[in-house]
Amino acid sequence: MDRDTRLGILASAILEGTPVDWPSVESTGDASDRAVVHQLQVLAEIAALHRDSGTASVAKPPAALDETRPVATWGHLRLLESVGRGSFGEVYRAWDTHLDREVALKLLRTEAATGDPSASIGDPARVVNEGRILARVRHPNVITVYGAEPREGRVGIWMEFIRGRTLHQIIEQQGPLGAREAAAVGIDLCHALAAVHRAGLLHRDVTARNVMREDGGRVVLMDFGAGHEYHDGSSGKSDVMGTPVYMAPELFVGGVADQRTDIHAVGALLYYLATRNYPVTGRSLAEIGEAHARGTRARLRDVRPDLPAPFVKAVEQATAADPAERYLTAGDLEAALDAAMRAAPTIAPAVGRQAAAIARRRRGRRRRGGRRLGVGAVERRARPRRTRELERRGRRGRGDCAENIPTGWCLGTE
């Protein structure tokens, strides 16, 4: 499919409100194509806004939670609704009265408040410090953090509110991805991790539930509740934190977290995107640790024989049991995934079945005299009337082939 046809299909999809898989579209073009695609994506978002609202309006906060509930505000933030709950706290949709904008507020429990180290974040000062460091990270694939502070026995981190679906929701609803789309997501995550690592942080919980695809197509790394600041390539922390099926094997035996443990998590996430499963599984933390110790794992090639070799190699190296065999940095993994994308079969951009069908109909039809005519009809109308009449007679088995009818159209004689 040539460039003009591909962009024409995208324009048709935008005009008719058909959903577009923007990451897949961006992955199939060169730098100049991506610049045009980005502009089309902006137009799509503007068109969607006008379709949904009809007219522009001034942002204002939705009604707060019932004031009779235990928590209606937290500092200058008005809590609007609970949107999630995790091991160490809750996430709320909130309204920042200082910034006059909607935010997501993660309230983390401290040990002083719970008396239970296993259900708390540990040192509140460290979490606040790391939240403030993360607030200085500005990258399109990293959620924007606005602030962090301790209050009322909790540590709060508030950040931009993302509207979209997590990668876990996408895979559970739509099934596994192909190599190109999974690699495109992985490249965005490598960009995000590179920015986080450069700021001196580790994420420590990169999972499908902690990565969102925004409604406009942007991939966003979120949820730094398990994050740690690190120095000299290591956090110096040997405590087990994170989601077990994504954790590197050395963390189960007291090893320290570093950039390569985040790389392992990205590799496990790519495996999940392609298979809807994980390389090492178990019913408990102990079972998963034992499986790592035995070297029991499902190879990606055995689960998805159809995947291209460069993609399989990238995932297997990212999830290698020996940290020394993994990619050292997010940039190294990105380079491998970029090579995998180039090696994967090129398919038409996924711009929606409806848009593709419309494009096919438009290519196969022409307008003539205000009527939509198929190509064959146009050819027949273009032939002289006498030619068409003789051709019809020939099809009925009457008459001879006239001299002015091409041989291929002479159907009534042998």
The predicted pLDDT at position 406 comes to 38
The predicted pLDDT at position 120 comes to 53
Lowest-confidence range among 71-80, 291-300, 398-407? 398-407
Lowest-confidence range among 42-46, 229-233, 263-267? 229-233
The predicted pLDDT at position 40 comes to 73
Average pLDDT over residues 378-382: 47
Sign of the dihedral defined by the CA atoms of residues 280, 286, 292, 295, in that order: negative
Confidence of residue 365 (pLDDT cuts 50, 70, 90): low
Average pLDDT over residues 64-83: 73
Per-residue model confidence as pLDDT tens digits over 287-317:
999 999 999 999 999 999 999 999 999 999 9
The predicted pLDDT at position 392 comes to 59
**Domain 73-160: CATH class, spelled out:** alpha beta
The predicted pLDDT at position 367 comes to 47
46 contacts 17 by C-beta, under 8 angstroms: no
Which amino acid would we find at residue 205? D
All residues at 6 or more sequence positions from 248 whose CB lies less than 8 Å from its CB, including other chains: 255, 257, 260, 261, 264, 265, 323
Per domain, the residue ranges of the chain are 3-57, 73-160, 165-343, 367-409
**CA-based nearest residue to 217, from 185, 261, 240:** 185
Active-site residue, selected from the candidate residues 4, 33, 96, 205: 205
What value does the CA radius of gyration of the chain take, rounded to a whole number of Å? 28
Average pLDDT over residues 232-248: 63
- At residue 374's C-alpha, the angle toward residues 370 and 378, to 5°, is 75
The better pLDDT of the pair 20, 323 is held by: 323
3-state SS string for the chain: CCHHHHHHHHHHHHHHCCCCCHHHHHCCCCHHHHHHHHHHHHHHHHHHHHHHHCCCCCCCCCCCCCCCCCCCEECCEEEEEEEEECCCEEEEEEEECCCCEEEEEEEEECHHHHCCHHHCCCCHHHHHHHHHHHCCCCCCCECCEEEEEEECCEEEEEEECCCEEEHHHHHHHHCCCCHHHHHHHHHHHHHHHHHHHHCCEECCCCCHHHEEEECCCCEEECCCCCCEECECCECCCCCCCCCHHHCCHHHHHCCCCCHHHHHHHHHHHHHHHHHCCCCCCCCCHHHHHHHHHHCCCCCHHHHCCCCCHHHHHHHHHHCCCCHHHCCCCHHHHHHHHHHHHHHCCCCCCCCCHHHHHHHHHHHCEEEECCEEEEHHHHHHHHCCHHHHHHHHHHHCCCCCCCCCCCHHHCCCCC
Fold held by 165-343: Transferase(Phosphotransferase); domain 1 (1.10.510)
Mean pLDDT of the chain: 76
> Do the first three CATH levels of 73-160 and 165-343 match, i.e. the same topology?
no
pTM of the model: 0.63
Residue 205 annotated as catalytic: yes
Confidence of residue 223 (pLDDT cuts 50, 70, 90): confident
